[in-house]
């Protein structure tokens, strides 16, 4: 019995180490880009076989038809929502993007059957960290499509959501990019790097310092 317990402890430790390693092998994505949390086929939201998702009522985004039954964290963030039925999970990123990853259509009706959660609500997650696993075949046999919308739930905070890939996609490949209201040239503007308004940086107006003759020079 002691030998069995030791072997069980070794397996659990190895599983934990593997999960931790998976969270570190993926590099940080380009700022503002949401990577795919699944491997499969990326499709526009309009192709999801559900009127609510297809009309982007819950928010804009892309969807993935998974070929592997696992969902990973697409970025650093916090698990803001985890449904009891484990078919959907919400992640709030460090940049304030509110993601909703909804595995399948009408799969809430399965009441958690064929799904397993590997995180809890409130957890901090890293890119590539395992969030959910699910049985694709059994979900489909039960009559549910497995197309998985990856929704920007706070779409109203953004000018648009740009799809970055269609077709075959691997987890942690760029999937979509929310474009902020202050977008310039298709790229989100980082307020920490944005140049100050003209003339504000030096305190002078458009005329420049040479026309400020009325001000005494330093030392006079």
Residue among 76, 87, 102, 198 flagged as catalytic: 102
Distance in angstroms (rounded) separating the CA atoms of residues 80 and 172: 20
Distance in angstroms (rounded) separating the CA atoms of residues 58 and 5: 47
Do 175 and 169 meet the contact criterion of CB atoms below 8 Å apart?
yes
Helix (H) / strand (E) element for 74: namely none
Burial 57-94 (b: 16+ CB within 10 A, else e): ebbbbbbbbbeebbbbbbbbbebbbbbeebbbbbbbbe
Structure tokens at 113: 């059957």
Active site residue 198: no
Burial 15-33 (b: 16+ CB within 10 A, else e): eeeeeeebbeebeebeebb
Which residues are known to be catalytic?
A: 102
């Amino acid at each position: 019995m002691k030998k069995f317990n030791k072997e069980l402890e070794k397996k659990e430790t190895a599983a934990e180490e593997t999960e931790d390693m998976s969270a570190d092998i993926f590099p940080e994505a380009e700022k503002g880009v949401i990577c795919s949390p699944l491997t499969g086929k990326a499709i526009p939201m309009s192709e999801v076989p559900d009127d609510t998702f297809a009309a982007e009522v819950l928010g804009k985004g892309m969807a993935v038809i998974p070929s592997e039954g696992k969902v990973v964290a697409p970025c650093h963030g916090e698990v803001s929502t985890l449904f009891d039925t484990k078919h959907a999970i919400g992640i709030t990123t460090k940049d304030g993007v509110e993601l909703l990853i909804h595995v399948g259509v009408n799969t809430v009706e399965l009441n958690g059957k064929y799904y397993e959660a590997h995180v809890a609500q409130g957890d901090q997650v890293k890119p590539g960290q395992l969030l959910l696993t699910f049985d694709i075949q059994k979900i489909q046999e039960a009559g549910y499509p497995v197309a998985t919308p990856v929704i920007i739930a706070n779409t109203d905070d953004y000018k648009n959501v740009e799809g970055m890939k269609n077709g075959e996609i691997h987890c942690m490949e760029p999937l979509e990019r929310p474009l902020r209201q202050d977008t310039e040239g298709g790229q989100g503007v980082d307020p920490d790097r944005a140049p100050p308004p003209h003339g504000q940086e030096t305190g002078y107006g458009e005329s420049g310092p040479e026309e400020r003759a009325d001000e005494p020079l330093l030392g006079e």
